[in-house]
Structure 1
Amino acid sequence: MGIELTALHWIYVVFIVLIIGFMVRRRDTTLICIIGIFMIAIVATGDITSSISGVFNSFIYAITELLSTILIISIIVAMSRVLMKSGINEVMVAPFTKIIKTPTLAYWTIGILMMVISWFFWPSPAVALLGAVLLPVAIRAGLPALGVAMAMNLFGHGIALSSDFVIQGAPKLTADAAGIPVGDVVSASIPLVITMGLVTTIVAYILLRRDMKRGTLELIGTNDEEKEQETVENLLTKGQKRFFAILIPIAFLADVVAMSILKLQGGDATALIGGTAVFILLILSLVAHKKEGLEKTTSYLIQGFQFGFKVFGPVIPIAAFFYLGDSGFNQIIGDFLPKASHGIVNDLGVGLAAIVPLTKEIAVITLAIVGAITGLDGSGFSGISLAGSVGSLFGNAIGEGTATLTALGQITAIWVGGGTLIPWALIPAAAICNVSPFELARRNLLPVLIGLIATTIVAVFLI
């Protein structure tokens, strides 16, 4: 019934174990992934020249698959730069400053606003858009700077980034690695995202209130490290700022409505959001910078692309390796798998099912642990291809639940590495609020762990 596992399958397993081991030790996995691609290629083809070419071709394949995601994030970051430079972001969040009157309102208002904006702008630009404006308002309402950082971090780099419902960069990576449609991962992630988000943010708030009553938290951030902030220039009149502050949210809301009516998902949804962001960037650059508008448009795009490739630079070699486990093998290396093979990962899943009585409980717990381990490099995104690959492996082994397992791996990887627990991933929120990233990580640890346990338990019942 099953296919006989070949040397290619075992090499793939060995390198998955090596990648996890390097991630646990917080070492870079790029070299391991490249060696893994080369080893698989040379065993498959027996030709050194084509194997060396295979490494390069795997990068091209990975970049081609990820290009829409890299582009959308780069364009949105470019657009956010002009919003900050012109001061439109301040006008956009101004109505919410009237709501923030108490520490409780400050925590939940900033958090929910951060989550919504992060779905459209991605968390790092959203932190800059919101933080500089709402931090003084929150502190005036009695919420410590550390509490502001926690709210922005948990709702933005936690809930919004791990779900990524609008841009769909994270679901695309995991879905491609698992060999399933993006829509399946998004649908499967909804109950898990809700569980993780509610449990973590509520526990974090309860602990924050407890320490505020004890008086153990400084109201103003006291971290000595320099923080980089975008300087606001007097480029637009008050009327122009108000006009664009209303127009931009309406434009993106119209996109969401269009996505719902036209049933756009994945690449089509990304293209609609990206095209809207491009036009907003062009219009704002021309109106704000006038004669220099053409040159400034290019300048903002360059800044955006620098950010996009900086984020995805470490992801490309890892994604290239994991694409070999599924549909990418034949396109990158050639038709060298056995005729009965359905891809390396699927073959391993069938083989695993025949050897080990793998239960859904073991599969769910293993995926949660694998996801958390892949997040230890602090990127969150570099390891979610592994989560998708292992999700597919276990889903095939137990005969169900591939989408749920993949979504769980994605959520745990991004919550750990995308910016809520690893100190170097917390820098954007910590810098804006002038608090220590290590202190922020320490505050997040217990709420995130409780959330991960609750989400893992829920995942067992969903399969």
Structure 2
Amino acid sequence: MGIELIGIHWVYVGFVVMIIGCMIMRRDTSLVCIAGIFLLGWLATSSLSQSVSGIFNSFIYAITELLNTILIISIIVSMGRVLTRTGINETMVSPFIRLMRSPGLAYWTVGLVMLVISFFFWPSPAVALIGAVLLPAAVRVGLPPLGVAIAMNLFGHGIALSGDFVIQGAPKLTADAAGIPVSEVVQASIPLVLVMGTVTTVAAFWLMRREMAAGKLTLATGAVRKGEARAEGGEDPLAAALPDKAKKIMAVIIPLLFVGDLAAMYFFKLQGGEATALVGGTSVVILITITLLAHRNRGLERTTQYLVEGLQFGFRVFGPVIPIAAFFYLGDSAFFNLFGSVLPEGSQGIVNDLGLALANTVPVNKEVGAVTLTTVGAITGLDGSGFSGISLAGSIAQLFGTAIGSGIATLTALGQIAGIWVGGGTLIPWALIPAAAICGVDPFEMVRRNVRPVVIGLVVTTIVAMFLI
């Protein structure tokens, strides 16, 4: 093998097992991760003060690595809030209402619009942006509210979030844990996202049409009271009106600006942080412009309020991720940065060492690796976040990819897809609440109908990944 495993390696493995166990039991993993950081620091330094300091420093390391992701999501949410409150979102999606002439067309129209919007705005804000506008039109042509919610959910929290090609929050987490560039994960995920998305949405559509024909899915199926649709109760104090002409102009300009961003990314080869910065800067400009137009003399104060709302959302989503990411970053270069060169000579990091050891002791192949990553990804999603555990998927993908000798990026992408499809909002009831609430349906009823198409999609995607590793 060349590198001897020492106590630090085994402690890391032990805590990974404990983290997986907590996820299976749907318990929070933050405390376990913090304990793991402390113990690894103690073994590396034999110093109580340095071990305690290592906890804080590992948090700083994780926040530094994730800060651009947290900021871009926060800014996008801030922009989404002002678009919703000024009514620009309604104007943006209103042309698509004409395409809804049957339940089938309504399903695909809602889904595809949700997909595109989610790439740029993230799914939860996108639900608020388009749900209230497209729902009545879809119901009018016969698509039940439950079908609308499922379409938004599968295309947004499923396809768009699992790929996350524009904002790149998910690939950033998994790529860092796997020790590879974000661009490699994004590229490897494209065929898998296409397979997963196509299989799942087509299967869901077929099952939905069959249930509608049998009378098992009607306009009243799964309906609940809609009083819980919004987290912010009562009248919105930041609501503002724009003239119809201004709404129409902005509804054209905003998509064009983002299309321009995509063109710039392609022609100037912008990836990772550069692409994120371009989208973020564009979003800030849009946010400021619309806020000043809508709120006029209160525009300065309202801009700050929108930014604060977005930051609250961003840190609420990523708060549970930070301690988990801090632990898994120790599996790679963060360990050397925080605790020095205490690993055996020639070590490339804890996870790499474990991967080499695995390759020399266990017969690992592409099939075993693919099934393992799908399983691990699904387990990490059991907490309903989709993001809090995907660093684990990246770390294990690096381990298996090293053992197999190839396919780290594909395995990482597979774990990411499984984790987000399960936990990001398609199979965990409390993660489906945004789409369920806006459509006034029961999230548990959504889960019941999502299970079969999502499981079918995961099986097919795992098989395809075996040929791509």
- Counterparts of 1:290 and 1:336, CA distance in 2: 59
- Counterparts of 2:453 and 2:342, CA distance in 1: 47
CA deviations 1:80-134 (Å, max 9, x no partner) are 0000000000000010011111101100011011011100000000000010000
Alignment of 1:77-88 (within 5 A): 77-88=77-88
Superposed displacement of residue 234, structure 1 = 5.0
Contiguous gaps of at least 5 residues in structure 1:
none
Asked if the contact 1:87/1:233 (under 8 Å) is kept, the reply is: no
Give the total of aligned pairs: 463
Q: Do structure 1's residue 223 and structure 2's residue 224 form an aligned pair? A: yes
User: 2:372 is aligned with what amino acid?
Assistant: T
Aligned to 1:253: 259
Q: TM-score normalised to the size of structure 1?
A: 0.99
Alignment of 1:369-388 (within 5 A): 369-388=375-394
- Counterparts of 1:229 and 1:70, CA distance in 2: 21
Aligned to 1:348: 354
Asked if the contact 1:84/1:129 (under 8 Å) is kept, the reply is: yes
Q: Do structure 1's residue 265 and structure 2's residue 271 form an aligned pair? A: yes
Asked if the contact 1:380/1:416 (under 8 Å) is kept, the reply is: yes
User: 2:230 is aligned with what amino acid?
Assistant: E
Q: Do structure 1's residue 451 and structure 2's residue 451 form an aligned pair? A: no
Aligned to 2:188: 188
- Counterparts of 1:229 and 1:377, CA distance in 2: 20
- Counterparts of 2:228 and 2:373, CA distance in 1: 38
- Counterparts of 2:276 and 2:240, CA distance in 1: 32
Aligned to 2:365: 359
CA deviations 1:241-294 (Å, max 9, x no partner) are 001000100000000000000010100000000000000000011010000000
- Counterparts of 2:224 and 2:342, CA distance in 1: 56
Asked if the contact 1:2/1:351 (under 8 Å) is kept, the reply is: no
Aligned to 2:104: 104
Alignment of 1:139-158 (within 5 A): 139-158=139-158
Superposed displacement of residue 359, structure 1 = 1.2
- Counterparts of 1:32 and 1:398, CA distance in 2: 29
- Counterparts of 2:156 and 2:229, CA distance in 1: 19
- Counterparts of 1:234 and 1:193, CA distance in 2: 38
Q: Do structure 1's residue 439 and structure 2's residue 445 form an aligned pair? A: yes
User: 1:329 is aligned with what amino acid?
Assistant: F
Structure-2 change in CA distance of 1:234 and 1:169 (3 Å): closer
Moved more, 123-132 or 335-344: 335-344
Aligned to 1:32: 32
Aligned to 2:159: 159
Aligned to 2:468: 462
- Counterparts of 1:183 and 1:135, CA distance in 2: 36
Q: Do structure 1's residue 391 and structure 2's residue 433 form an aligned pair? A: no
Superposed displacement of residue 216, structure 1 = 1.7
Q: Do structure 1's residue 404 and structure 2's residue 410 form an aligned pair? A: yes
- Counterparts of 2:31 and 2:200, CA distance in 1: 35
Aligned to 1:368: 374
Asked if the contact 2:240/2:295 (under 8 Å) is kept, the reply is: no
User: 2:343 is aligned with what amino acid?
Assistant: L
Alignment of 1:131-146 (within 5 A): 131-146=131-146
Asked if the contact 1:417/1:425 (under 8 Å) is kept, the reply is: yes
Question: Deviation above 4 Å: which 4+ runs of structure 1?
Answer: 229-234
Asked if the contact 2:107/2:148 (under 8 Å) is kept, the reply is: yes
Superposed displacement of residue 208, structure 1 = 0.3
RMSD, aligned CA: 1.1
- Counterparts of 2:366 and 2:9, CA distance in 1: 23
User: 1:213 is aligned with what amino acid?
Assistant: A
- Counterparts of 1:45 and 1:392, CA distance in 2: 26
Aligned to 1:53: 53
- Counterparts of 2:123 and 2:337, CA distance in 1: 34
Q: Do structure 1's residue 326 and structure 2's residue 332 form an aligned pair? A: yes
Superposed displacement of residue 229, structure 1 = 7.3
User: 1:195 is aligned with what amino acid?
Assistant: V
Q: TM-score normalised to the size of structure 2?
A: 0.97
Aligned to 1:172: 172
Aligned to 2:291: 285
Asked if the contact 1:370/1:409 (under 8 Å) is kept, the reply is: yes
Asked if the contact 1:128/1:229 (under 8 Å) is kept, the reply is: no
Superposed displacement of residue 338, structure 1 = 1.9
Aligned to 1:313: 319
Alignment of 1:416-435 (within 5 A): 416-435=422-441
Moved more, 283-292 or 221-230: 221-230
Superposed displacement of residue 330, structure 1 = 1.3
- Counterparts of 2:306 and 2:17, CA distance in 1: 41
Moved more, 232-241 or 252-261: 232-241
- Counterparts of 1:339 and 1:68, CA distance in 2: 34
- Counterparts of 2:206 and 2:104, CA distance in 1: 10
Asked if the contact 2:3/2:345 (under 8 Å) is kept, the reply is: no
- Counterparts of 1:396 and 1:114, CA distance in 2: 37
Moved more, 325-334 or 279-288: 325-334
- Counterparts of 1:234 and 1:382, CA distance in 2: 35
Asked if the contact 1:119/1:166 (under 8 Å) is kept, the reply is: yes
- Counterparts of 2:438 and 2:340, CA distance in 1: 49
Asked if the contact 1:177/1:385 (under 8 Å) is kept, the reply is: yes
Superposed displacement of residue 2, structure 1 = 2.4
Superposed displacement of residue 333, structure 1 = 2.1
- Counterparts of 1:368 and 1:171, CA distance in 2: 16
CA deviations 1:40-88 (Å, max 9, x no partner) are 0001100000000000000000000000000000000000000000000
- Counterparts of 1:439 and 1:431, CA distance in 2: 12
Alignment of 1:291-302 (within 5 A): 291-302=297-308
Superposed displacement of residue 233, structure 1 = 4.2
Asked if the contact 1:368/1:409 (under 8 Å) is kept, the reply is: yes
Superposed displacement of residue 215, structure 1 = 1.5
Q: Do structure 1's residue 11 and structure 2's residue 17 form an aligned pair? A: no
- For residue 98 of structure 1, give the secondary structure of its aligned residue in structure 2: helix
Superposed displacement of residue 337, structure 1 = 1.6
